[in-house]
Copies of this chain bind each other. A is one copy, B any other.
Amino acid sequence: MATDDLDDEIHALLRREDQRYTKGRRALVATLRAEGQPVTIPQILDASDGLAQSSVYRNLVVLEEAGVVTRIVTNDDFARFELAEQFTHHHHHLICSSCGDVVDFSLDDQAEAGLDEALHDVAEQAGFTVEAHRLDLVGTCADCD
């Protein structure tokens, strides 16, 4: 997706929540986009300077509520953030239990479709309204082995 289109869509999502797309929020999105992988707040502060820590936390909440950004919580100390799937593609996470690093991966279409169907059935039986499914592989990454 071109940067301009992405910014337009994000602008629209924020406006829907009566939020502005400020310079700080643009910088945040740019950083997440540049990283291309889930990042912690310390990583964001290192990668993009000029942003105050409190504003980063606050804006990530705003962006998350608007559906621009996804928060990934693991057993690690820090939460991680990445652009929402609508701006990237549907994917899952490899979580390293040694270093805490989180890396994206995708299933092939057939496996994903099969999973979707099975989950749909489960949710229906439980009277559960599904917003998203999350699939993580927990283990040890190549670097930590």
A73 / chain B contacts, CB cutoff of 8 Å: 73-75
| A6-14, A26-34, A36-44, A129-137: which lies at the interface | A129-137
A128 / chain B contacts, CB cutoff of 8 Å: 94, 96, 137, 139-142
Copies of this protein chain in the complex: 2
Total contacting residues, chain A, CB less than 8 A: 37
Q: How many Å lie between the Cα of A9 and that of B104 in the bound state? A: 36
In the complex formed, the residue of B with least CB distance to A75 is B73
Digit string of A97-141 for contact with B (CB within 8 Å is 1, else 0)?
Answer: 100000101011001001101110011001111111111111111
Q: How many Å lie between the Cα of A123 and that of B145 in the bound state? A: 13
Chain B CB within 10 Å — which of A133, A135, A137, A140 has the most? A137
A71 located at the interface, meaning its Cβ lies under 8 Å from any Cβ of chain B in the complex: yes
- Please tell me if the beta carbons of B71 and A131 are within 8 angstroms of each other in the complex: no
- Please tell me if the beta carbons of B126 and A142 are within 8 angstroms of each other in the complex: yes
Q: How many Å lie between the Cα of A135 and that of B116 in the bound state? A: 12
A interface vs B, CB < 8 Å?
71, 73-75, 94, 96-97, 103, 105, 107-108, 111, 114-115, 117-119, 122-123, 126-142, 145
